[in-house]
Structure 1
Amino acid sequence: MSVSPAHHANRTEADLRVAPVITGLGVLAANGIGVEEYWAAVLSGESGLAEITRFDPAGYSAKLAGQVDADFSALPNRLMPQTDHMTRLALLAAAEAFEDADVDPHQLPEYAAGVITGASAGGFEFGQRELEALWSKGGEYVSAYQSFAWFYPVNSGQISIRHALRGASGTVVAEQAGGLDALGKARRNIRTGTDLMVAGAVDGSLCPWGWLCQIRSGRLTDATDPAAAFLPFDRRAAGHVPGEGGALLIMEHPEHVARRGVDPVHEVHGVLAGHSATFDPAPGSDAPSGLRRAIEQALRDAGISPREVDVVFADGAGVPHLDAAEATAIAEVFGPRGVPVTVPKTMTGRLLAGGGPLDVATALLSIRDGVIPPTVNIERPAGHPIDLVRDTPRETPLTTALVLARGHGGFNSAVVVRRAA
């Protein structure tokens, strides 16, 4: 049973402090499509990084990516000509998340559910194809769907249409940090009147246009060996490998979960207990990054102390000075080697806005199974004061995880997830 729209007017001060319950997960990554396939690959240390096949990378300095080649036969044929590859992935993730949560959104009250996604660019692959048609053939050959298929909010739009989500919706654009900020925004929507939110990000831009934009950041590796390419916190770190994919979560108000008859302990993944977003100081400033402040504020928001955090899922830029800054922030909050740290995205690549939500999904699976996934291929640790989980999974009871993401341009975001009480 669903909360009626009339219930929204009765929100109390307690609602403004509620920790949303995460009831569904939808996951796609280069090393696994679907939650359990992805999780099995992560625990076995299976990487999805390889040379790009979506286009010929021979003329580019970076040639490796975490590419997701999914089966889209479950999507209606009418959607194929109007969607980018990235959006099709997002639609698959949303469908899996709803199935996992055992929710039929079409049965909810009209404005009871919404969607917030993170994005970095939009459907660049679709956009490039239509621009090529414009240049080579003329405007009459450009698809009318170009008007929205390339746009930042397109995933939110298509998910809302397909699942009849007419509640509070939107998109957060903050590159890697945007996916976590989308979860924070969804939490605010739940606290102020929306019973259920689809939140997270599925992102990627593996086409020549998008690829060149990423190369211009100066943060991509030019390595050609997938096992020696993306090495955060390693002495050999020299940039990251991009990828595509991510995760979408079903987040609900606890009262809505109770009204649906869901067991709040055994049938949910956990709760989103804390979130914070900060900005770095202006370039050239001697002031420290805002990452430590984001960590401390997220913990404060969750009402916990650093000693209650069991694992940190680090941003893991793979760029030496960024890795050093992140390691310093973690050590300052938790103490030198005071908490296990992991970067499972070494197996998927950095997924732009999709990376943070995928780490949140991974953290929830870690809590479920009592195991911290490894950071693969780290053979020469750079000596940072962190307890980096390497090579093999580490089995240990887990209750609370901190997930970090840093977007290009100075965005920082931190999320705390906990086992449901």
Structure 2
Amino acid sequence: MSGNPVVTGIGVTAPNGMGVDEFWSATLEGRGAIGPITRFDPARYPSSLFGEIPDFRVREHLPSRLVPQTDRMTQLALVAADWALADAKAVAGEFDEFSMGVVTASASGGFEFAQHELEKLWSKGSEYVSAYQSFAWFYAVNTGQISIRNGMRGPSGVVVTDEAGGLDAVAQATRQLRKGVRLVVTGGVDGSLCPWGWVAQLATGSLTRAVDPEQGYRPFSAEADGFVPGEGGAILVVEDREAAKERGARCYGEISGYAATFDPKPDSGREPGLRRAIELALERAEATPDEIDVVFADAAGIPDLDRIESAAITAVFGPRGVPVTAPKTMTGRLYSGAASLDLASALLSIRDQVIPPTLYVAEPAPEHPIDLVRDAPREAGVGAALVLARGRGGYNSAMVVRATQ
């Protein structure tokens, strides 16, 4: 492999926009998509806000035979992968099938599909349960369905590290490129919006109980009391730089450095691992802190986790030393889709020289001495961006992306 891997295609399925153009326009305009749950009655539950993708008509995008086989999150992933490959102008049939791989992230699998089949089991009997239940619920199903649909038989896999997964999957994809694979479809798309999946999310104790969409997810604010989840994410096409250049592909940017760490046991007295992940990612990118033009924050919306993140950013960059943004306040946290969508946003920021805003945070709390880009986009020279992501259980990931030289 020659040089750092490059991103040649982006496909987005997000609550505030389907497709790159629609999503990016909504993000720069500050159009939020968080609202009360509509796909079931949330009145019995302590939390009721979610970032739903409205009006997704799957049969307009996928063959009818795939619909009964797949959960909604897989349908969204397949559409995002189709768009990413089209954006990259990468026709799968023009590549050797063993030179293409798929690496995605998943946090929960196809919960909605599984609930429907369990309902059939309870109410009608086992003979009514779909044979597709055997895999439609599984963590690796997005990888499998994308690879089957596009004839991609090279090294593939799935990463299960909760919200850190969107970066971890891209990192694993770059490893496969270094081993000689030519193209990898990667990223994360998630969503578990059904009563069964909702109860599982509520059990974490991390979801806000606010009912006003503008008060539900306010990271780094004194009023932060949890987050709003959502569905969707982004799928990227990553390639070897020279291979992409040979076929005349457009490059959004290069993946320059990545690191992952794990937090120590709670109450151990040891420092959380996020700062170390940032430092290692910068080191591997051969970048100094002053070369980073924006940080896309994990933005947990949970006071203790927000403090850890702002402290790590401040320790590396200094108080208000770098612009920080969290556009996921418009969509909710998309679990494994969150970081890959932030990565797509970082690449679009580099393309358009603008930093998208954070919504709903009137002012960061005094304990967060960060330069939070709020309410409106900020025009800026963006040549390099740092994307942060953390998963429940102690996962930390950091990735540096740069403009392609």
Please say whether Structure 1 and Structure 2 have the same fold, judged by a TM-score greater than 0.5.
Answer: yes
1:78-157 correspondence to structure 2 within 5 Å: 78-157=65-144
1:38-117 correspondence to structure 2 within 5 Å: 38-69=23-54, 70-72=56-58, 73-117=60-104
Displacement of 1:149 after TM fit?
0.1
Structure-2 separation of matches of 1:379 and 1:37? 26
Question: Match of 1:298?
Answer: 281
Structure-2 separation of matches of 1:179 and 1:95? 18
Structure-1 separation of matches of 2:57 and 2:27? 21
Q: Does 1:367 align with 2:350?
A: yes
Structure-1 separation of matches of 2:242 and 2:252? 16
Question: Match of 1:341?
Answer: 324
Residue from 321, 326, 336 that aligns with 1:353: 336
Residue from 249, 256, 267 that aligns with 1:284: 267
Structure-1 separation of matches of 2:394 and 2:259? 14
Q: Does 1:205 align with 2:189?
A: no
Structure-2 separation of matches of 1:237 and 1:257? 43
Structure-2 separation of matches of 1:27 and 1:292? 29
Residue from 356, 362, 367 that aligns with 1:379: 362
Displacement of 1:284 after TM fit?
2.3
Structure-2 separation of matches of 1:218 and 1:380? 25
Residue from 301, 312, 315 that aligns with 2:295: 312
The sequence identity of aligned pairs, in percent, is 58
Displacement of 1:71 after TM fit?
2.3
Q: Does 1:22 align with 2:3?
A: no
Displacement of 1:112 after TM fit?
0.8
Name segments (4+ residues, structure 1) moved above 4 Å.
none
2:97 alignment partner, SS class: coil
1:161 alignment partner, SS class: helix
Question: Match of 1:3?
Answer: none
Q: Which runs of 5+ in 2 are unaligned?
A: none
1:177-216 correspondence to structure 2 within 5 Å: 177-216=164-203
Displacement of 1:18 after TM fit?
3.3
Deviations 1:97-134 (A, max 9, x none): 00100010122012110000000010000001111111
Displacement of 1:255 after TM fit?
2.1
Aligned AA (1:397): G
Structure-2 separation of matches of 1:349 and 1:64? 9
Structure-2 separation of matches of 1:380 and 1:335? 19
Displacement of 1:136 after TM fit?
1.3
Question: Match of 1:34?
Answer: 19
- TM-score, scaled relative to structure 1: 0.94
Structure-2 separation of matches of 1:283 and 1:194? 40
Structure-2 separation of matches of 1:26 and 1:110? 21
Worse overlay, 320-329 or 278-287: 278-287
Question: Match of 1:10?
Answer: none
Structure-2 separation of matches of 1:220 and 1:398? 33
Deviations 1:299-350 (A, max 9, x none): 1111111110000000000001110110000000111111000000000000
Displacement of 1:75 after TM fit?
0.3
Deviations 1:65-120 (A, max 9, x none): 00113221120000000000000000010000001000101220121100000000
Deviations 1:117-171 (A, max 9, x none): 0000100000011111111111111100000000000000000000111011000
- Preserved CA contact (<8 Å) 1:236 1:380: no
- Preserved CA contact (<8 Å) 1:24 1:100: yes
Q: Which runs of 5+ in 1 are unaligned?
A: 1-14
Aligned AA (1:404): L
Question: Match of 1:396?
Answer: 380
- Preserved CA contact (<8 Å) 1:195 1:252: yes
Aligned AA (1:376): L
2:284 alignment partner, SS class: helix
2:214 alignment partner, SS class: helix
Question: Match of 1:330?
Answer: 313
Structure-2 separation of matches of 1:346 and 1:385? 19
Deviations 1:366-395 (A, max 9, x none): 111111011011114212111111111110
Displacement of 1:40 after TM fit?
0.4
Residue from 226, 231, 240 that aligns with 2:218: 231
Question: Match of 1:4?
Answer: none
Aligned AA (1:100): D
Question: Match of 1:241?
Answer: 228
- TM-score, scaled relative to structure 2: 0.98
Aligned AA (2:152): L
Displacement of 1:286 after TM fit?
1.4
1:249 alignment partner, SS class: strand
2:151 alignment partner, SS class: coil
Displacement of 1:414 after TM fit?
0.6
2:81 alignment partner, SS class: helix
Question: Match of 2:241?
Answer: 254
Structure-2 separation of matches of 1:344 and 1:261? 31
Q: Does 1:221 align with 2:208?
A: yes
Structure-2 separation of matches of 1:18 and 1:212? 45
